[in-house]
Structure 1
Amino acid sequence: MGIEIFNARANQNKLGNLFLGFFEGLFIDGRVHIKEIEALIKWVEYFLECVELPHFDTLYKLMLRATEDPEFLLKQHKEISEMMVKFKRSDYFIKNTCDVQRLHGLLAGIVCDQTLNSDEILALNQWLKDNDHLEEDPIYTDIYAKLKSVRVNKVVDENTVNIVLTTINRYVDYDNFGIPKLAVSSSNENRNPDFYHGPFIVEGFTICLTGASTRYTKAEWKDVIEAKKGMFKDDMTKSVDYLVICNKGNPHWAHMSYGRKFEQALKWQKEGSKIKILTEDDFVKVLCG
């Protein structure tokens, strides 16, 4: 049995967790609107792999019926939630990983109809409080900080709605049914503030890559880096100077959360580490410049 089958199973679980969160986001305010159903169908079109998920055929038929009667989907909330929970039954299930993916889906489900109301914000705040084991996740931290006024004042004002909506829009495409954003380029319109965009030197420094590259295999990257007198490292340790996020990425890196290596790098940065996170494009400019 090749390693591909394990990767396929793991990716299937990640996609299932993402959809689990998306459903939670749809139902979070106790209402379902036709635009939310349209967004759900758009998600199925975007993530075609979801048709292979266990129990998804039944869910999809429910969605199609819901396009004619959104209240039907709300009435079936309990049954649908039970189906989605089945996605978690896996040898590869890890609570934190699952819940991070659910959070990503949740945010998309909340704003996929291009609106954000006080009920949704209050429910989101409660969800975050109930899942505070995610407090080291950068997206959790970002959203949670923006909801401080809600926890202090116990009310949601218009300014808070706008701030939270702007923050969520960093991670999902508000104008395209909440489809996840994967900003791994260094263009101005996709510039991620977590990435380093300044000058650096390859020679004498240790480089680690995450994700799939549009240019080289990892073995080829190793040869290219070592030819420039840099040191290639396949795993993340505190000896790594630069973590490179490859452009091809991973379709299951939802909402600009680039996996455990990225999260570890951010954590070490907060602890005072000098590790820098680069896009593949920025790295190649220096490497081949």
Structure 2
Amino acid sequence: MVDLHQEFQNSAFFHRARIDRRSADALVGIAAGLAADGKINQQEAEFLKTWIESHLIHLADPVVNILYTRLAQMLSDNVLDAEESVELLEMLRQFAGLPVGALQSTTTPTSLPLDNPAPDMSWADRVFLFTGVMAYGPRKDCEALIVERGGVIGGSVSKKIHYLVVGSIGNDQWLHSTYGTKIKKAVELRNSGVPIAIVSEDHWQKVLFG
């Protein structure tokens, strides 16, 4: 049979697109389910990687590709360490539209309270904290850039923090964008007069690399 008008081919493409959309929607549900208990273990990470490879690896979707690439990097040594587990949990919460650092699925504003104008930044003896998922790469790589320049990495939001850097994946690129407890606490400190600056990853990279 000759498909003169490409009706079969076109209908197959349409069917494929519907399957892809359902699979992408299913991934949101899987991400929410894995993040629901507040932790991600090795078995869950491996399951997620296999599922994406089976259902969505062929998609030219930048968000799915970022999630898969970062997940593959984490599992490249066949071990999901504690730091990677925390970062993966944060990624899945953002992908599923859950507030970062919280279990409840309430929605927070999507306009991030960044310092405006963006502040000048220095490195030596300045204390940095990251939140969200960084487009530059794994958080430990971002932290290494700070330490190399004489900066310090903070453990949590407090009066000791000079800069809270908000990862660009999670506000511009993720469809379901929310922000969580770190930003909320930083805003409260800033409003009380504490000199803590909330900056975007884009600004951080511009100052860092020129």
TM-score normalised by the shorter chain: which range applies?
0.3 to 0.5
TM-score of the aligned structures, taking structure 1 as reference length: 0.35
